[in-house]
Structures are given as C-alpha cells and as structure tokens.
C-alpha cells in the first residue's frame, strides 16, 4: 500500500524576527604581503570555499602567498606544499572540494593537492611548468579539472594523483574552468575563444559560440545551469540546458564577474573594480556589499550565506548571512526522506507527532551528503499517521 504523507515540514527556528539574507557578521582577515598592488587583470579563482564555508583557501596574485583555513576563517595556515618547497611560485588557481577534504593549487612545479584529513600532499610531474589559471573539482575531490594559459585543459580522476592532458583541445589562454558536483560536466572559458562544454567527463567538447571571450565560467551542481561573463561588458550569459542555448543578461552595474554559484544556481557572487556583489535570484538583481576596494576574487558557500572576497591589498573580507535552510520531503517506500542544502551554520533535525505541543525531539539520525546536489539527506520511518519536522540551531 503506498505511503500517504501527512507531514508538515518547518524550515527552521532561529532568533525571533530573523530573515534570510539578513547581514549577521562581517570579518576582515589581514595578511602581510598578500598582494603587491598589481594592476593586472583580476585573479580569478583566487579564493575558494567548501560547501559549508568551513574550509577556505586563497592564493595571492603575485604568486608568493597562499593560505588556507579549516575553521571558517578564524585561523589561517600558510601553504607548505611539498618537500623542497621554497615558498614562492604559486599560480592564481585554487580549488576546495565541497566536502572540504581536498585543496588543490597550482605553481610552476605542477598542481599540488592537499588531503586535509591526512595532512599530506601529492603532485603529478605531468603538470610541471604550466601557468595554471583555474582549477575545479567534484564535490568529493575525486575528479579535478584544470586550465592553463597558452595550453590545454587537464583532468584527474584520482584525487589529483595522476593527470591527463587533453591534447585535442585548442591552445588558448584558458582562464576559467568549472565542473558539476559529480565531475562529469565541465565548462571552459578563455580569451578570444568560445566557452567550451563537455557533458561526458571531458571526453568530447562542443563550443558555445554565444558565450565568447568570457573570463569567468560557473556551473550548478547538476551541470545544467552555466554562467559566463567577460571582462569589459555589463552583460553575462546564462544557460539552463548544459550550454546548448544561451541568454544574454544585462546589468546596471558594469563588469561584474561571476565568481561562484550555489548548487542550484540561484545564489551568485561576483566582483567588479570596486565592490563585491551578491544575487539570490540567478543574477536577475544584485546587491553590493563590503567596503569599497579592488577585489581579485570571491567565493560562495552552498547556501549562499557565506561570502569571502579577496581584496587588492592584504585583506580577505568575509560576510556571513543568517542561514535558513528549507526542508524538502519525499516518500521512500515505507520511509520518508528529508533533505536540505548543506548549511553554513550548525542545525539539528527535530521531530514531533503533535504540532500543538512543545515535545520536539532532536533526532540522532546522521544525515548523509548527496554529492549530486550538495544536500544533506535523512531517511526516517513514518511517525504514526502524521509527523512534523523542523531544523533548529543547537
């Protein structure tokens, strides 16, 4: 007999009057010599975040200072990547897996990958000598893709241990690469070239001629939504069908470069010459935030509520907004499955059989991470004829 759902799902319980998107906390992190005032083009991919915003990594434009944080930006450690590392030569490329277990960065000696839990590094000699501009990885870090200046794209399916050079790609100044949460969809953008799309783990590619000469490209978790933008225009391009067709979107503020997107593509973060920008409606409208400065890159947590921007001085600027995750529910045989986007703050799942009472019970079922959409998932048996669930801050 099919399961009849009579379940009311609450989003969460926060401080009275809390509203999603309400500014909650602003932090400025200062580093000596992080930048040297270089006036060159923006360093795309210069700061990246895990899905929950707890792991952050940043590289400096002048390739001499690279840092990471494992506690949401409270404390930072300078990269000491490999034996014989001399402290310089990092490229502007950096990536953090959504689960926070892997950090990848490129220098003239190759792409180095840090296993955060083990504290160990690997590097493949096949990546030696390239000027790495951008790195992206799947949610679990197993699949990594990288783009280099005046070279081609590279791919690794072994957590960065071994890399394959995609020799059939045209030689271009590739500056941005992105991939889906499972790593099977990839987008690649560069100077004076169309944006290239692959839907089969970089085996074959097709050009998106409608999105040409773009410096930044981003992808939603499932790879269906792609955004691309250029350096000197107030337009950016969006696709909702894996890059097959594109829409040109015009903005009131010029040259906002799309740096990061949420798993569903609705929250976006970007920079222009003086501001950080945030959109919660797939780029239809934008709000600027943060002090006026020249930013070199920014990143966004999965729920869109932690944003980190790297300025053209010695600072990283972090904004935290009140997270209000929304629960979704679906039948699974005789169980129910609850899911919500990985939040940037701790929440506990609670259940109750009678909404008129205060008998909420914190459930001990640990959620699993769905790497295809970056959602936490919990499967539960039905609570009698009806049940009520909510997320609440501890």
Total-model pTM: 0.86
HEC letters along the chain: CCCCCCEEEEEEECCCCCCCCCEEEEEEEECCCCCCCCCCCCCCCCEEECCCCCCEEEECCCCCCEEEECCCCCCCEECCCCCCCCCCCEEEEEEECCCCCEEEEEECCEEEEEECCCCEEEECHHHCCCCEEEEEECCCCCCEEEEECCECEEEECCCCCCCEECCCCCCECEEEEEECCCCCCEEEEECCCEEEEECCCCCCCEEEEEEECCCEEEECCCCCCEEEECCCCCEEEEECCCCCCCEEEECCCCCCEEEEECCCCCCEEEECCCCEEEECCCCCCCEEECCCCCEEEEEECCCCCEEEEEECCCEEEEEEECCCCCCEEEEECCEEEEEEECCCCCCEEEEECCCCCCCCEECCCCCEEECCCCEEEEEEECCCCCEEEEEECC
Q: How far apart are CA 21 and CA 135, in angstroms?
A: 29
Query: Which of these, 249, 138, 247, lies nearest to 202 by C-alpha position?
Result: 138
Own/partner contacts of 330-334, CB < 8 Å, gap of 24 or more, are: 331/2, 331/3, 331/5, 332/379, 333/3, 334/3, 334/381, 334/382
Structural domain boundaries in the chain: 7-17+324-392, 23-321
Q: What is the pLDDT of residue 250?
A: 77
At residue 119, the pLDDT reads 86
The whole-angstrom separation of Cα 240 and Cα 212 is 17
User: What's the pLDDT at 219?
Assistant: 93
Q: What pLDDT, in 10s, does the model give residues 112-131?
A: 899 998 988 888 888 888 88
pLDDT value, residue 180: 95
pLDDT score at 368? 92
What pLDDT, on the 0 to 100 scale, is given for residue 88? 45
CB of 222 closer than 8 Å to CB of 179: no
- Distance CA(89)–CA(43), nearest Å, equals 15
User: Could you tell me if 308 and 318 are in contact, meaning their C-beta atoms sit under 8 angstroms apart?
Assistant: yes
| Matching residue, tokens 């004829």 | 385
Report d(CA 241, CA 385) in Å as an integer.
40
CB atoms within 10 A of CB 326: 14
CATH topology of domain 23-321: Methylamine Dehydrogenase; Chain H (2.130.10)
Nearest to 235 by CA among 267, 258, 218: 258
Q: Which residues pair with 123 in a beta bridge?
A: 112
pLDDT at 235: 77
CA distances from 292 to 272, 287, 311, 312 (A): 10, 13, 10, 11
Q: Is residue 225 within 8 Å of 238, Cβ to Cβ?
A: yes
Q: Which residues of the chain are under the pLDDT cut of 70?
A: 1-26, 30-45, 60-65, 80-91, 167-168, 232-233, 252-255, 258, 312-314, 383-384
Fold classification of 7-17+324-392 is Immunoglobulin-like (2.60.40)
- Tokens 């404390």: give the residue: 75
State pLDDT tens for residues 369-391: 898 889 999 999 876 677 889 99
Round to the nearest angstrom and report the end-to-end CA distance of the chain.
Answer: 37
Query: What is the sign, positive or negative, of the torsion defined by CA atoms of 78, 80, 81, 84?
Result: positive
Burial letters 129-150, b for 16+ CB under 10 A, else e: ebbbbbbbbbbbbbbbbbbbbe
């Amino acid at each position: 007999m099919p399961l009849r759902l009579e379940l009311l799902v609450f989003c969460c319980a926060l401080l009275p009057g809390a509203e999603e998107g309400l500014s909650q906390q602003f932090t400025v992190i200062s580093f000596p010599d992080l930048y040297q005032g270089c006036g060159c083009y923006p360093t795309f991919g210069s700061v990246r975040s895990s899905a929950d915003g707890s792991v952050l990594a940043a590289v400096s434009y002048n390739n001499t200072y690279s840092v990471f944080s494992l506690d949401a930006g409270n404390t930072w450690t300078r990269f000491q990547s490999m034996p014989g590392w001399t402290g310089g030569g990092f490229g502007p490329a950096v990536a953090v897996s959504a689960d926070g277990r892997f950090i990848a960065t490129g220098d003239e000696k190759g792409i180095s990958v840090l296993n955060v839990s083990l504290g160990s590094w690997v590097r493949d000699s096949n990546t030696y000598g390239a000027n790495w501009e951008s790195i992206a990885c799947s949610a679990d870090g197993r699949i990594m893709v990288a783009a280099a200046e005046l070279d081609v794209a590279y791919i690794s399916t072994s957590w960065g241990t071994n890399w394959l050079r995609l020799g059939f790609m045209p030689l271009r100044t590739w500056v941005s690469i992105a991939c889906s949460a499972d790593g099977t969809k990839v987008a690649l953008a560069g100077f004076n070239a169309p944006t290239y799309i692959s839907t089969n783990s970089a085996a074959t590619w097709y050009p998106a001629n409608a999105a040409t000469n773009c410096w930044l490209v981003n992808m939603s978790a499932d790879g269906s939504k792609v955004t691309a933008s250029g350096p000197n225009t107030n337009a950016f391009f969006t696709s909702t069908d894996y890059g097959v067709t594109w829409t040109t979107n015009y903005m009131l503020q010029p040259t906002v470069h799309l740096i990061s997107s949420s798993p569903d593509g609705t929250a976006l973060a970007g920079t222009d010459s003086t501001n950080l920008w945030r959109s919660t409606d797939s780029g239809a409208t934008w709000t600027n935030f943060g002090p006026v400065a020249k930013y070199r890159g920014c990143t966004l947590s999965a729920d869109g509520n932690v944003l980190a921007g790297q300025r053209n001085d010695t600072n990283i600027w972090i904004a935290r907004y009140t997270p209000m995750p929304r629960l979704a529910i679906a039948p699974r045989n005789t169980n129910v499955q609850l899911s919500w986007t990985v939040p940037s703050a701790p929440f506990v799942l609670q259940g109750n059989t009678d909404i008129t009472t205060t008998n909420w019970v914190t459930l001990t079922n640990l959620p699993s991470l769905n790497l295809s959409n970056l959602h936490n998932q919990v499967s539960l048996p039905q609570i009698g004829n009806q049940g009520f669930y909510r997320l609440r801050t501890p």
